[in-house]
Every structure is written in C-alpha cells, then in structure tokens.
Structure 1
Amino acid sequence: MEKPPSRLLNNTPAPDNRRPTLIRRRDMKMARSPHAYVRGNTAQYYDWLHSLPGQRLPRGPEIWICGDCHVGNLGPVAAADGTVQLHLRDFDQTTIGNPTHDLIRLGLSLASAARGSSLPGIVTSHMLQHMLLGYQRAFFPGHEEIFAKPAVVKASLREAQLRSWKSLARDRAIDGRHAIPLGKNFWPISPTERAAIEEMFADPAILTTITGNDVPDTTQRPAVVDAAYWVKGCSSLGLLRYAVLVEFNGKRRLLDIKEAVAATSPRYPRVSMPRDNAKRVLQGASSLTPALGGRMVARRFMERGIFIRELMPQDLKLEIEQLRMEDAVLTASYLAYVVGRAHARQMDAGTRSIWLTELLANPAKSTGTPQWLWNSVVQLVASHEAGYLEHCRKYAQSE
C-alpha cells in the first residue's frame, strides 16, 4: 500500500537523493561542540589507536566489547519483565576485542564532556581515577544496591519508568491516525523499499521474537501501517535506516530497522565471530546487554544485513549536556560500573581476577590512575580538539 501523494509533498529529499542532505546534517551536528564531535567520530579514535604499539595498552580477555563506548551509547533499557536499568544500548561497532578500548573511549567521552562543561582539569583527573574504581566494583557481586547513582542517571531512569506508548508517540510526533510524519527526521521511502518492508514483516516470527511472545498467532499476520526512512545519528550516512509502524496481535508497535556494516573497532585475531554483520551485532548485544539483545532479530533486507528492534518507551539515550562539578566524579564511576557489568558477565572468576590485576597495575603515584589510561585520554583529547577545529573550519567555509 503506497502512501497518499500528499504525504510526499514535504520538504524532504527523494529516496535516490538522500546523501547530500545526510552529509550536511552530519557535519552540522559534529560542529556543535567538541563533545558532539567525539561522539560522532569513531573513525578518528581507532585511527589513533591503530597507530599505537600494542604493548602500550593492557591486553584484556577475549570478550564482546561495545566498540563505541561513549556516554551517548548508554541509557535506560527496558527488559521483557518491565524492569528498567542503565545499560549499553548501541552495538554497531561491537566485536570480540580488547575491553581496554571501551574504557579509553568512555574516558575520552567523559573528558570531552568535562571540557564542554568548563570543568577544571583536576576534575577530569579525579573522573578517570574513579572511573576505574567503578569499573572494578562491577566485578564483585552485590554492589548494585549500595552504589549511589548520580543525579543525571536518577533523572534518566525516573523519566524512563514514567513513560508510556503515548510518550513515545508524542516524541516521534506520530499523529492521531498513527502515521509517521514526514519532515526533518522522517523521509519518504521508495515503492521498492515499502514492498521489501511489507514482505519482511509478513513473517510473524520476527514480531514474535522482538515482542517476546512465546506462541505466535499464525492466523494473524503483522500489518505494516506506515514506514519512513529515519534520519538519526551521525552513522546514518549511506546506510539503510527505517522507522516502521506495525499492528500485531491488536497492538501498534514502532520498530527500528538499521543496516549493519563492518565494524571499525579492531577484533582479536583468530577469534570466531559471525561473518554476517547483522548477526555480529545481535550476538554482541545479547552478550553485553541481554535485556536488549533478546528483543532484536537479524535479517537480510534488500541484499544487506539489517537488525530490527522494537522501540520501547523506556529506552532512552543518556543525555549529558552539562556535567556538574559535584556530580562529575560519581557519574564517571557509575557509567564505568555499567560498562564493567557488561564485561564481567562474560568472564569466569579466574578470568576476572587476572584481568583486574592487569588493568590496575602500576598506577601513577600522583593520581592513582594507570599511566596508560591517563596518557591515552590526554593524547586523544588533544587529537580530537585539533580535529574538531579543523572540522568547524571546513564547515564554516562551506556555508
């Protein structure tokens, strides 16, 4: 079923002319602040990392890592039983690699947030020290109850728990007819894309997995109510990304379809991982955040690998526009704890002990922070600051 012609008369690019607008939007978002530049530039992080001799960083166990562990890729996630906790929530770059890479990426993100909030350098020093202490606490059971949550996390979790389907529809500006509005964030799709989406969702098994229904009603096929190309994040450039509204078993559900591409993050050699990138993303998500991985499926779509998840009202991105001095150290410690929890669940007791010993060895006398972490973050902040200014110069020249 095609959309009415009136819905295609918005000021949005045609399906075959998305790239120029996407490039412009990506560049504009990354020019907003150094923190936004860090969040949107995974490639520069790994370019720097590849230039280092491997022995300069601790070598961790072979586990699934996020691969793009910045602050914006953490946030509240709803489990099937309705509980909401802070978790890793983005796995495009997930791979079986060195967990040190997640810690440095998080440290860079926190340091950039501190600089963007005009906090003094001594606060960044304390943040990195307590970040490792928080990460370490995740390896010892029973700390969730006594680990104080920072104000920004409490506020995010409180907001998530109060949200409903109406909240999600309001955020996405879905109208009373439950249509996806075309405009700034949603663009029209081609008849070929629409047909491929409808064909894919004709399989009830997809919705059964995503929604957690044990026994599908095979007499009732999912109905695609509406679909649009979704302009979201800096990684949308050139990739397939769709928002799809479906009706299944009497309920309307909003689904996210996202193309999976090869990870930039380095993997350990000679480890076994799915060759299909969508299956890699699914396996990494299931290992790091089971509450989210259990609500995802991997499929082939228009000859590309994609993964699908339902957008739950409680699933939010952790937004830190301003990092307050009184909350900065606790925030760094708690976010590292969340990352540590995702890493630790993949290790047995012996591996945990060996990894922590390696990770915390040879702390600097002045700060207690291992020299490899401090040096890495300092060099990366300098590298990204220069990259950010150059990005802004080129963006201004193109105006």
Structure 2
Amino acid sequence: MNDANGVLPAAQPDLSDLFAGRGSLAARMQLGRAARKKVPRTRLAICKLKKRDPIALLEASNVGRVPELIPIRYGRMVANPFAFYRGAAALMAFDLAGLPRTDIIVQLCGDAHLANFGLFASPERRILFGPNDFDETLPGPFDWDVRRLAASFAIAARERGFAASDQRKLVRRLSETFRQRMAEFSKMDVLDLWYYQFSAASMLDIADSAGERKREALVVDKARLQSSRSVLDHAAVQVDGKYRIKENPPLVYHVPLATQRERRQYDDMIRRFFADYRLTLSDERRALFDRYELVDVAIRVVGVGSVGTRCYEALFMADGEWPLFLQLKEARTSVLENYLPRSQYANHGQRVVNGQRLLQSASDIFLGWSKMHHTGSDFYVRQLRDMKGAFDFASFDVEDLGAYAVSCGTALAHAMAKAGDPARMCGYLGKSDAFDAAIETFALAYAERNEADWSTLKAAVKAGRVAAIRE
C-alpha cells in the first residue's frame, strides 16, 4: 500500500530475525554447552601438529617487508624462545588451523601473548590494563586466543627455568581465571559490561605480595608520566628553531631525499595520508587534530613480529610548543586470514582499529587509519607515547608471574565478553576444570614445539640459510 506521497513504505524488519541468536541468558548458555558435543573441551588439549618447515613459513611471512630489516627481525627472534614466539604468530596460526577448535566465534586479538598486554590510558586519563596489540585481529574461534596466551606463559616460565609443576600451575591459574571471569561477565548488565574497565589499581590489588605490588606500582607511576610532552626533549632536537625527530639508526631515521623534487613528492604523500586519516576521526577529535601542525616524520623500527613492516613516527606541534607524537604502523593481512574468513574491511588499518575498539575497554582518541597511496600500503595511526607501560616479566618469580596470569586472564575474558557472547562462552567453559586441564596440557606441549622451532631458526642462522643481525 502506497503512502500519501505515492511511495511504498520501507519494509519493516522481522524482529525475530534481527535478534536471532541473542535470546535469554539460559538459552545462550545452552548453545555453549551444545558446542561441547561438537568439540569436547578435552580435545583442546590435542597438540598433534602437522609437519611443516618453520623457516619456510617465516620466510613466507616476510613477503612485503622491508628487505634490509628482515635480518633485524631474525636477530631479535633468535635471542631466546620467547622472543621467537613473539615473532612466530604465523607459525601458530598454521598449527591452530590443523587442530580441533570451537565454533564459538569472537573478535580475536590474534596475537594474545603475555607481552602484548600492558598499560594504556583511557580518554579520561585512567591507567588501564589489557591487550594492546591488534595487528592480527580477526573474528575466529575464541579458544585460539586463549591457547596462544596460555602457551606464552608456559614458554616464559620455561625460559625462566621454572619447574614443570610451576609451569602447569601458571597456565592453570590463567585458564581458571579466564573461565571464572567469563562466568561473572555473562551475568552482568550489557551496558555495565561495556563500561567495565580493568584498571591498573585493580591489577595492583591482585598482587600476591607487597614487594610485587611495589614493583608494579613503579611501572604504573612511570606510565602515568609518559606523554608526548614528557619525552619531547630526548625524542626530538631543535634544528634552526624547529623540532626534528632525533635519529637513532638503524632503528629511527629519516627517509633519504636527495632532490627538491623528491622532498616535495614525499611531503605531498604524507600530507595526503594525514588528510585521509583525519576523515576517520569523529568530528570532535577532528577539531582537536586540526589544532596541530605536522613538523616531521621519520621511520621507526618496532617490536619483534612487526620488524620489517613499514612504521613511521610523526611529530606535530600545537601553538609551536605542545607536541603530539603519532605512530603510523603498517597493517598487513592478518596471519589468521590464511585459515579463517577474510576481513570485511578493504583497508587493514580499519580492521585493526575496529578490532581494537571492540576489544579494549577504552581506546586512544587519535586512533584511526589511512593508506600510503604510492605503495598501496594500509596503515593505522595511534599515539606513540601516551601513558603506555609494560611489565618486565623476565624478572618475575613464580608468584609474580602467577598474579600477572590472573590480570591477563581477567583482561582477555573482558575483551572477549565485550566483543562477543559471554553466555555462550560460559556455557562451553562450564563450571568444572575440564577446560583448564585441556589448556594446561596444550600449552606445555606447544612450549616444546616452540623451542624446537627456535632451535631450527638458530641452526638456519648458523648455516647461513637466513641472515640475522644481533643488536
């Protein structure tokens, strides 16, 4: 039937379809329990892996990286088994794809090892703790993130020389925390769950001893003081009255530009990049960004798994004296996309940004994305220095690492509960320790595989099959 203007009315949505799969808490938990029949929790313990050449997989992951930086990547990975693990997300994605997995899909961090958790600031300037690296984020089976995080604790504990029994206790504490917190989050009001923030203060409350609490408080205090303004003097120098990013080759350096034409082309490219980036910000943050003027850009080599990808830092100034450091980080195809449905986003920077916004309890106000049009490379943008902090888990004793496992388990459970269906995950996890036992078995077995792969890389470096630069 036409309306008064002769226009057919818009079709009304079928509310039963619109809300299909949401249902009551009990119904959604039952869906999770039903998922156990397809993949029993005990099957998550399986670590019988397909035969593969780890060097070939690593070399495949180097395609598109800056060639001269790849030896630095291998040099960092060969340092120890945990450093290798940090750079070997592609290997674990291959391995997980060949193992039993749940069909409960959630937005994954994609690289949820313990060094990819840390401190960051909310827009209200609260110090929060949670996952802080989303380069590989993609929807996938929730257990993949849990298994990657659990294996990282087993590897870190093994590297510290902790007994196998302690390794088991650490992983058990992590998985038990994850399961119990998911049960709590499944019963929360949806808005309360979305607003929930796991703060640094909450993390300090978990500390097992006064000594651990004091050490963690020092890291929190240091993060609180970290800002673009606080690091300006040692991160930049004044040249002819203008600030310029301080070089530290081969890790921080400016693109060599020989002619005036090259400089003009480079400047046009960067300004087009930021003009496109600006459009990905909300209106009020766009107004804030417009207060700043771009003064310098330099290449910056970061991380372990990210080494060889294109990464820049940009210095902006407001009123000629207030600095803002932004990081431009290349967003490549997620290593998970070889085994899971590909990203829905045309720009991988947008994939990273939206994954981060879904998973973090609060995100950087300058978080956005863009593209370098001359290369076609996707990037995401965030503040480089803004109340960020990381814990030196290499110095943790068993008790310290156990408390850290509780913090990481809590943070991961909240991230997944916020981005997915906590009731369905809770139904699958259950109340018994079946899930915990399976994750424990898997993590210790995978730690052995990781060490074997690390040894293979060392042998390849020694034989000259790959080049590695030790810094």
TM-score range, shorter-chain basis?
A: 0.7 to 0.9
State whether structure 2 residue 78 is matched by structure 1 residue 31.
yes
Tell me what 2:314 maps to.
Answer: 244
State whether structure 2 residue 337 is matched by structure 1 residue 275.
no
Residue-by-residue CA offset, 1:95-126 (whole Å, 9 max, x unaligned):
01112111111111111110111111111111
State whether structure 2 residue 224 is matched by structure 1 residue 161.
yes
Q: Is the 8 A contact 2:119 2:389 kept in 1?
A: yes
- Aligned-residue CA RMSD (Å): 3.0
The 5 Å alignment of 1:1-399 reads 19-52=66-99, 54=100, 57-60=101-104, 62-139=105-182, 140=184, 148-150=205-207, 151=212, 153-169=216-232, 173-176=235-238, 178-182=243-247, 183-189=249-255, 190=257, 191=263, 192-201=265-274, 205=278, 213=285, 215-216=287-288, 222-248=292-318, 251-266=322-337, 273-292=344-363, 294-302=365-373, 303-347=376-420, 351-360=421-430, 363=433, 369-371=436-438, 373-398=439-464
Query: 2:103 corresponds to which letter in structure 1?
Result: R
Structure 2 unaligned residues grouped into runs of 5+: 1-64, 189-195, 258-262
Query: 1:253 corresponds to which letter in structure 2?
Result: L
Q: Sort the Cα spacing of 1:382 and 1:158 in 2 relative to 1 into closer, same or farther, 3 A.
A: same
Q: Sort the Cα spacing of 1:380 and 1:228 in 2 relative to 1 into closer, same or farther, 3 A.
A: same
Percent identity, please.
20
Q: CA deviation at 1:199?
A: 3.1
User: Which range moves more in the overlay, 174-183 or 330-339?
Assistant: 174-183
Query: 2:124 corresponds to which letter in structure 1?
Result: D
Looking at structure 2, the residues matched to 307 and 244 of structure 1 have their Cα atoms a distance apart, in angstroms, of 13
Q: CA deviation at 1:26?
A: 0.7
Q: Is the 8 A contact 1:123 1:328 kept in 2?
A: no
The alignment's TM-score, normalised by the length of structure 1, stands at 0.82
User: Which range moves more in the overlay, 261-270 or 157-166?
Assistant: 261-270
Residue-by-residue CA offset, 1:286-311 (whole Å, 9 max, x unaligned):
10115225531111222222111122
Q: CA deviation at 1:249?
A: 5.5
Residue-by-residue CA offset, 1:288-336 (whole Å, 9 max, x unaligned):
1152255311112222221111223312334322231222222112111
User: Which range moves more in the overlay, 109-118 or 198-207?
Assistant: 198-207
Looking at structure 1, the residues matched to 356 and 147 of structure 2 have their Cα atoms a distance apart, in angstroms, of 20
Please state whether the residue corresponding to 2:244 is helix, strand or coil: coil
Q: Is the 8 A contact 1:96 1:271 kept in 2?
A: no
The alignment's TM-score, normalised by the length of structure 2, stands at 0.70
Please state whether the residue corresponding to 2:111 is helix, strand or coil: coil
Structure 1 unaligned residues grouped into runs of 5+: 1-17
Please state whether the residue corresponding to 1:345 is helix, strand or coil: helix
Q: Sort the Cα spacing of 1:392 and 1:272 in 2 relative to 1 into closer, same or farther, 3 A.
A: closer
Larger radius of gyration: 2
Query: 1:298 corresponds to which letter in structure 2?
Result: W
Q: How many residues align?
A: 367
Please state whether the residue corresponding to 1:135 is helix, strand or coil: helix
Query: 1:299 corresponds to which letter in structure 2?
Result: S
Q: Is the 8 A contact 1:168 1:313 kept in 2?
A: no
